[in-house]
Amino acid sequence: MTWEIVIGLEVHTQLSTNTKIFSGASTAFGAEPNTQADAVSIALPGVLPVLNKGAVERAIKFGLATGAHIAPRSVFARKNYFYPDLPKGYQISQFDLPVVGNGQLIILVPASGTRQAYEKAVRITRAHLEEDAGKSMHGDFHGMTGIDLNRAGTPLLEIVSEPDMRSAAEAVAYAKALHTLVRWIGICDGNMQEGSFRCDANVSVRRPGEPLGTRREIKNLNSFRFLEQAINYEAQWQIGTLENGGAIHQATVLFDPDKGETRMMRSKEDAHDYRYFPDPDLLPLDISDEWKEQVRTTLPELPQAKQARYVSELGLSIYDAGVLTASCEMADFFETTLAALSPNPSPASGRGEQSAKICANWLIGEVSAQLNRDNLDMAQCPITPQQLGGMIRRIADGTISNSGAKEVFRAMWTEGGDADAIIEAKGLKQVSDSGAIEALVDEIIAANADKVAEYRSGKDKLFGFFVGLAMKASKGKANPAQLNEVLKRKLSG
Amino acid sequence: MINASLKQISAHLAAKKISSVELTQLYLDRIAAFNSRLNAYITVNPEMSLAQAREADFRIAAGKAEALTGIPIAQKDIFCAKGWRTTCGSKMLENFISPYDAHVIGQFNNAGAVNLGKTNMDEFAMGSSNETSYFGAVKNPWDRNAVPGGSSGGSACAVATRLCAAATGTDTGGSIRQPAALCGISGLKPTYGVCSRYGMIAFASSLDQAGPMAHSAEDLALLLNVMAGFDERDSTSLQREKEDYARDLTKPLNGLRIGLPKEFFAEGLSNDVAQAVEAAIAEYKKLGASVVEISLPNSRLSVPVYYVLAPAEASSNLSRFDGVRYGHRAPDYTDLADMYEKSRAQGFGAEVKRRIMIGTYVLSHGYYDAYYLQAQKIRRLIAQDFTEAFRQCDIIMGPTSPSTAFKLGEKGDDPVQMYLSDIYTIAVNLAGLPGMSIPCGFGAANNGNPGMPVGLQIIGNYFDEARMLNAAHQYQLATDWHNRVPQGL
């Protein structure tokens, strides 16, 4: 009998405000310890929190982008526990009345082995605003612990999904889709190394059709690879335990990336009683329809909508449209290239579709491959959309052949420069002068009378032989389409 | 000079009859002479006070004086003041020098007032007798064997003994009004949100409110003019038009409808307090007011409700005192948990610990609904009682405290008896209403004990401080209880 894996994710996204959620201290990453810890961050006696509107707007954006309910009134609550990097002895969070509820995210789970790629909707239970804690630094302090409160008070949006995922692959696809979305709508920089996007995974297993099993929560997974490894390990561990007659007890576990294992952090019995209660220092958060609508006007076109538009208006395949909208950088690059290509775009025209298809092929093909090889991300791409557009314009108007384009592309990548200048310098211009091509074909026919006779008697395969000769004679510059046309005409007598 | 009103002092300063430096020195000398007997101040810093006085003198000379410029004000040691030791009456903060000013302190500084020193108080404002202060109890100036009330007992004592021109206090359940009553001075707790709580060390955030303590209603109005005002650093601070709280002082009281809650004149009220309060009501009738009996049926629940909500908030507010970043840290500990336990065990006194434990309990899983949520519901009912009552009257009057000042140590072993001394004041905080206490007589002298001051409590509707001050001022024009001064100082 098989097992079903059930996964729900809690993702902490650091919101991209310049200042903290309850004070004016900077949130910039990487400053000297405690240089961004103001009176509120270190919780001096008597200081009070004041809510950062920018953090709320980012939460609203997220809610709108996931079709969620934006609570007209939500409440900040105190989560009480002692820890040295939690300066107030409580974290200001939201508990029973979060700002965002009941959203949904469509994910694309990529093909794997014999399984096809498929789409799936993952429900978002809630998303709430809260403040981050500081950092405890062990080591280098002569047996003591150092505390850096620069991060204390950084705004977070904790996004909680329903247990809708059934495999590590689905969980990763969801996390990636979420990662794309928060960057897409500009609420989080998505930097996982700096901890701007952190996942906790709730994992349980069950026999299909049975009620949910007992879950264990894997804390603080800060890469998609660790997320996948940790879930797979944890699920196998739970299955193994159950199959050996054991039972799963609710617990919080940590993933050790070096060993590839999860290990127990605390059991349910050790769980804190956080003694949540509404924070009396903060008023309930009221969000009017006007505010919501005003924020809506700042939302960019969302990936799903863009994808649909690429298919209907630009004639791209669903697959291509999906790849091009996998990140906002990719989509931006694509659209800027397209705009550079045709200053007055008329997307509905056949010409526009042709250019869009060429653009898509280059981005999905050469550009992505080269970025991968050089281990760069889109933002670091050495070629600008304007450069790429300039090259594609020359492909579309027949100035260069595809093989010539590859040479142009390599030159632009390594040395920079305009396509036109490179074409000129490297002499890559195709010969499209019909007189010159006809003369060249005439010469070849005259010099190979025997082969011509063979061809004319039915040996069609020789056509390639003539193309090869003609290309060689033109030093590869003959416009292939034109050459084909002339050859065909002249050979058929 | 020490018996003069703030208005008179200001006039003397303007007329150069005395400089702010001289006046400040006069008070500093009095503090040096008498504080050891009274224990009203925790910290004085003559150097800093006199520096402010010198600045004030320049400002007066430049003709830029405001109503309080150059006047020495004592600050309850709950307000953070830059460069001043700010202890909140606790060993936990015994050596804490605040790096910043509370909003209220900033307001006084802007007005050119002189910070004369930090007054004693119950530890973290938790107490009704000042006996929980780590720095020892304040003495009642009328009988040094009696308590001054709390938690703003140091401020009340300093005002009564003329060890300052005026003072500030804070009131979470009666901490301005009750010591004002027990020391025979005037004190006002404004509507919740009128004075910013920024920089005022939090006890129970939804109840805490700063207010002035002084010799008269007129002085209170001038002080409140400086203390009140919107502050964006306190989300519960109210954004309202600036008002002059002295504007209605001289209005006659004809037609004023005074509500007398029958629950405030029932069992538990001592005879001498009842008599003094009734005499004050009679005086009000002479001044043209009418009286109507009202009922606050849920006010009997205010003490239990308060002792759920205030400790709940306090248990969380006091979590920051963990010995990690500032404040007391135990000298020896074995690990993190041990450091927390020892630092807090050593740094907090018994009453603070009691309230942290009560608060932690009522917020705990499984008890929250039964205690915290239930108390919040009753809190709303208590507020509704007042809304109902103010349909029938303009202002509510009654005793501030059920008895005059009790003896030091008398209620030390019985926290519930201690809590009941705030039975008439707590409901006002729960409703967020403004309340004040003014002197209205003395209790009976007996067994060689002197008669102790009695306070009349005046409760107004939201933002009705000007009307309350008017009622108090008119009474003080007709009586002289507020001018009585304890002997021997």
Query: Which band of pLDDT confidence, cut at 50, 70 and 90, is reported for residue A352?
Result: low
Catalytic residue among B129, B175, B315, B437: B175
A137 inside 8 A of chain B by CB: no
For A112, which DSSP code?
A: B
User: What gap in Å lies between CA A290 and CA A476, rounded to an integer?
Assistant: 64
Residue A13 has pLDDT above 70, yes or no: yes
Query: Which of B359, B19, B402, B431 is closest to A89 using CA atoms?
Result: B359
For chain A, give percent helix, strand, coil, nearest 5: 40, 20, 40
Q: How far apart are the first and last CA of chain B?
A: 14
Minimal CA separation from B233 to chain A, in Å? 6
Integer-rounded Cα Rg, in Å, for chain A is 30
Structural contact between residues A75 and A286, judged by C-beta atoms closer than 8 angstroms:
no
Structural contact between residues B156 and B180, judged by C-beta atoms closer than 8 angstroms:
yes
CB contacts < 8 A (A, B):
96
Residue A384 has pLDDT above 50, yes or no: yes
Contacting residues of B for A80, CB less than 8 Å apart: 315-316, 319, 363
pLDDT at B182: 98
Contacting residues of B for A39, CB less than 8 Å apart: 99-100
Query: Which band of pLDDT confidence, cut at 50, 70 and 90, is reported for residue A379?
Result: confident
Structural contact between residues A139 and A130, judged by C-beta atoms closer than 8 angstroms:
no
Q: Which of A46, A80, A277 sits opposite B200 (nearest CB)?
A: A46
Query: Which band of pLDDT confidence, cut at 50, 70 and 90, is reported for residue A344?
Result: low
Cβ separation A48–B198 shorter than 8 A: yes
Structural contact between residues B302 and B382, judged by C-beta atoms closer than 8 angstroms:
yes
Catalytic residue among B19, B20, B76, B411: B76
Cβ separation B86–A48 shorter than 8 A: no
Cβ separation B199–A47 shorter than 8 A: yes
Residue A353 has pLDDT above 80, yes or no: no
| CA dist A383 → A260, A345, A376, A417 (Å) | 38, 22, 12, 9
> Considering only CB atoms, which residues of chain B are within 8 Å of chain A?
79-80, 86, 88, 93, 96, 98-100, 102, 197-202, 204-206, 232-236, 312-313, 315-316, 318-322, 324-326, 336, 340, 360, 363-365, 368, 372
Kindly report, residue by residue over A264-322, the tens digit of the pLDDT: 888 877 778 999 999 999 999 999 999 999 999 999 999 889 988 999 999 998 888 98
Minimal CA separation from A37 to chain B, in Å? 12
pLDDT at B403: 95
**Does the ipTM surpass 0.90?**
yes
The dotted CATH code for A434-491 is: 1.10.10.410
Architecture of domain B6-256: Alpha-Beta Complex (3.90)
0.95 exceeded by pTM = no
Q: Which of A43, A280, A282 sits opposite B320 (nearest CB)?
A: A43
Local structure of A483: helix, strand or coil? helix
| CA dist B107 → A166, A185, B321, B375 (Å) | 60, 43, 27, 35
| CA dist B114 → B23, B49, B51, B225, B285 (Å) | 10, 6, 9, 16, 40
- CB within 8 Å of A429: residues ≥ 6 apart: A399, A400, A423, A477
Q: Which of B198, B315, B363 sits opposite A46 (nearest CB)?
A: B198
Structure tokens at A317: 């395949």
pLDDT at A351: 54
Query: Which band of pLDDT confidence, cut at 50, 70 and 90, is reported for residue A347?
Result: very low
Cβ separation A281–B365 shorter than 8 A: no
Cβ separation A277–B235 shorter than 8 A: no
Q: Return the residue of A nearest to B313 by Cα.
A: A280
User: What gap in Å lies between CA B140 and CA B118, rounded to an integer?
Assistant: 18
A76 inside 8 A of chain B by CB: no
User: What gap in Å lies between CA A95 and CA A76, rounded to an integer?
Assistant: 7
Cβ separation A45–B86 shorter than 8 A: yes
Kindly report, residue by residue over B183-218, the tens digit of the pLDDT: 999 999 999 999 999 999 999 999 999 999 999 999
Cβ separation B233–A39 shorter than 8 A: no
Q: Which residue has the tokens 């995922």?
A: A165
Domain parsing of chain B, residue ranges: 6-256
CB contact burial B97-112 (16+ within 10 A = b; e otherwise): ebebbbbbbbbbbebb
Residue B152 catalytic? no
- CB within 8 Å of A189: residues ≥ 6 apart: A14, A16, A183, A196
Residue A349 has pLDDT above 50, yes or no: no
Minimal CA separation from A358 to chain B, in Å? 56
Best to test chain B binding among A23, A268, A281, A282 (most B CBs inside 10 Å): A281
- Show the beta-strand stretches assigned E in B172-289: 186-189, 209-214, 257-261
| CA dist A467 → A430, A478, A481, B367 (Å) | 15, 10, 11, 89
Contacting residues of B for A49, CB less than 8 Å apart: 235
Best to test chain B binding among A23, A38, A48 (most B CBs inside 10 Å): A48
pLDDT at A350: 47
Best to test chain B binding among A78, A277, A286 (most B CBs inside 10 Å): A277
Minimal CA separation from A32 to chain B, in Å? 17
Higher pLDDT, B4 or A341: B4
pLDDT at A453: 85
Higher pLDDT, B263 or A341: B263
Residue A463 has pLDDT above 90, yes or no: no
Q: Which residue has the tokens 């980012």?
A: A58
Q: Which residues pair with A462 in a beta bridge?
A: none
CB contact burial A223-262 (16+ within 10 A = b; e otherwise): bbebbbbbbbbbbebbbeebeeeeebeebbbbbeeeeeeb
pLDDT at A267: 85
Torsions phi, psi for B384 (to 5 deg) = -65, -35
Please identify among residues 271-310 of chain A the ones whose CB lies closer than 8 Å to any CB of chain B: 273, 275-277, 280-283
Give the DSSP per-residue string, B398-464.
EESSSSSPPBTTTTTT-HHHHHHTTTTTHHHHHHT--EEEEEEEE---BTTBPPPEEEEEEEESTT-
Q: How far is CA A492 from the centre of its chain?
A: 54
Cβ separation B205–A281 shorter than 8 A: yes
Structure tokens at B244: 């002059």
- Show the beta-strand stretches assigned E in B283-329: 290-294
Minimal CA separation from A33 to chain B, in Å? 14
Where are the domain boundaries for CATH 1.10.10.410 in chain A?
434-491
Minimal CA separation from A323 to chain B, in Å? 46
pLDDT at A343: 57
Kindly report, residue by residue over B256-301, the tens digit of the pLDDT: 999 999 999 998 899 999 999 999 999 999 999 999 999 999 999 9
A96 inside 8 A of chain B by CB: no
Residue B175 catalytic? yes
Cβ separation B236–A283 shorter than 8 A: yes
Pairing of strands B453-460, B395-399: antiparallel
Which portions of chain B are predicted below pLDDT 50?
Answer: none
Residue A319 CB-half CA count within 13 A: 7
Residue B368 CB-half CA count within 13 A: 11
pLDDT at A348: 46
User: What gap in Å lies between CA B55 and CA B50, rounded to an integer?
Assistant: 9
Residue B151 catalytic? yes
